[in-house]
């Protein structure tokens, strides 16, 4: 039978030239369409669960499999990240990447970057009061803090490229590793929020969270990310124990600097482009 897509005359169940499935006139039925949709959903669902299991419990395996060319059993890096980012957006109203305008105007390290002067100039230029601008800024920050998380991927890829320059891996390989790692980081923050932060605030209130809970979660987070990266570096970059431990600790500690840099980027984006 001739392939309907490329015209190859030797099509069997699937065309050997383009991969198109053999045409069946009965495929244009509601029953067949429902069966095909269910098959597609089930396949995607299995791939997602398999990818989720690997990224949570087998650090470094997914990027190692991807760069080795074994990709069919898992979701692609960017697609998986975008799906996790969507879940992160839907299930969290506040996150570590979001800060209100008050924090930028009153606390270090933000004020050292001239945040007060920038806001004053913007208010004078547009004849607006701080009370009028604050709620619009906070709304934009809450939205943008999740929408631009993809920018964390090249930032971390650059960090990994510098730390493992002797491994002679290409920047794309570092980018693949960073994509799966940032997806894990969002998953971890989401689980940390739902399983630790929410119950803690329910038991001890907002004041208890500010006094003790926030620092506890930050400590647990940094330690957990360091352990995860240690295992991931060992598997993906195949580095020794000592170097993996040092780079994992350094990478975990750079999270604070990267988060501050990300917040400042959003601050200037919102202040300078808002109308």
CA distance 112 to 106: 10
For the stretch 111-143, pLDDT in tens is 999 999 999 999 998 889 999 999 999 988 888
Q: Distance between the two ends of the chain, CA-based, in angstroms?
A: 61
Distances (CA, A) of 161 to 29, 155, 169, 202: 52, 10, 8, 42
pLDDT score of 179: 95
Residues with Cβ within 8 Å of 220's Cβ and at least 6 positions away in sequence, in order, are 192, 196
Is there a contact between 94 and 197 (Cβ–Cβ < 8 Å)?
Answer: no
The verdict on residue 49 lying in a domain is no
The verdict on residue 54 lying in a domain is no
Q: Supply the range of the domain harboring residue 135.
A: 76-273
Residue 198 has pLDDT above 70, yes or no: yes
The mean predicted confidence, pLDDT, of the chain is: 83
Taking alpha carbons only, the member of 236, 224, 221, 59 closest to residue 163 is: 236
Using pLDDT thresholds of 50, 70 and 90, give the confidence band for residue 34.
low
Average pLDDT over residues 90-97: 74
The verdict on residue 57 lying in a domain is no
The verdict on residue 108 lying in a domain is yes
Using pLDDT thresholds of 50, 70 and 90, give the confidence band for residue 210.
low
Looking at the DSSP assignment, which residues form a beta bridge with residue 151?
none
The verdict on residue 56 lying in a domain is no
Residues with Cβ within 8 Å of 149's Cβ and at least 6 positions away in sequence, in order, are 85, 88, 97, 182, 186
Q: Is 139 left (phi over 0), alpha (psi -120 to 50) or beta?
A: alpha
Is there a contact between 84 and 179 (Cβ–Cβ < 8 Å)?
Answer: no
The verdict on residue 201 lying in a domain is yes
Q: Considering its fold, how many domains does the chain have in total?
A: 1
Average pLDDT over residues 183-198: 86
Q: What is the H or E stretch that residue 232 is in?
A: helix 214-236
Share of the chain above pLDDT 90, in %: 40
3-state secondary structure at position 21: strand
The verdict on residue 142 lying in a domain is yes
The verdict on residue 12 lying in a domain is no
Is the model more confident about 103 or about 5?
Answer: 103
DSSP state for residue 127 in the 8-state scheme: T
pLDDT score of 190: 87
pLDDT score of 130: 93
Hey, what are 141's tokens? 């920050």
pLDDT score of 116: 93
Share of the chain above pLDDT 70, in %: 80
């Amino acid at each position: 039978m001739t392939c309907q897509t490329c015209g190859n005359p030797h099509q069997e169940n699937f065309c050997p030239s383009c991969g198109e499935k053999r045409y069946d006139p009965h495929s244009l039925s509601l029953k067949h369409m429902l069966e095909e949709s269910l098959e597609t959903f089930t396949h995607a669902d299995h791939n997602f669960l398999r990818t989720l299991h690997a990224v949570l419990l087998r650090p470094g395996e997914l990027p190692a499999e991807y760069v080795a060319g074994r990709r069919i059993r898992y979701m692609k890096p960017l697609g998986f990240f975008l799906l996790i980012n969507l879940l992160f957006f839907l299930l969290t109203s506040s996150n570590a990447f979001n800060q209100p305008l008050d924090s930028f105007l009153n606390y270090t390290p933000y004020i050292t970057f001239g945040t007060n002067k920038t806001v004053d100039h913007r208010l004078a230029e547009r004849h607006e009061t701080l009370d009028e601008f604050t709620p619009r800024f906070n709304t934009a920050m809450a939205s943008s803090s999740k929408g631009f998380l993809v920018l964390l991927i090249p930032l971390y890829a650059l960090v990994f490229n510098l730390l493992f320059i002797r491994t002679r891996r290409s920047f794309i390989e570092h980018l693949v590793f960073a994509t799966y790692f940032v997806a894990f980081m969002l998953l971890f923050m989401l689980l940390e929020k739902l399983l630790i932060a929410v119950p803690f605030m329910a038991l001890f209130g907002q004041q208890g969270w500010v006094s003790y809970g926030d620092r506890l979660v930050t400590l647990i987070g940094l330690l957990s990310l360091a352990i995860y990266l240690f295992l991931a570096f060992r598997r993906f970059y195949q580095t020794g124990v000592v170097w993996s431990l040092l780079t994992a600790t350094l990478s975990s500690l750079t999270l604070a600097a990267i988060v501050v840099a990300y917040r400042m980027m959003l601050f200037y984006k919102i202040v300078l482009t808002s109308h």
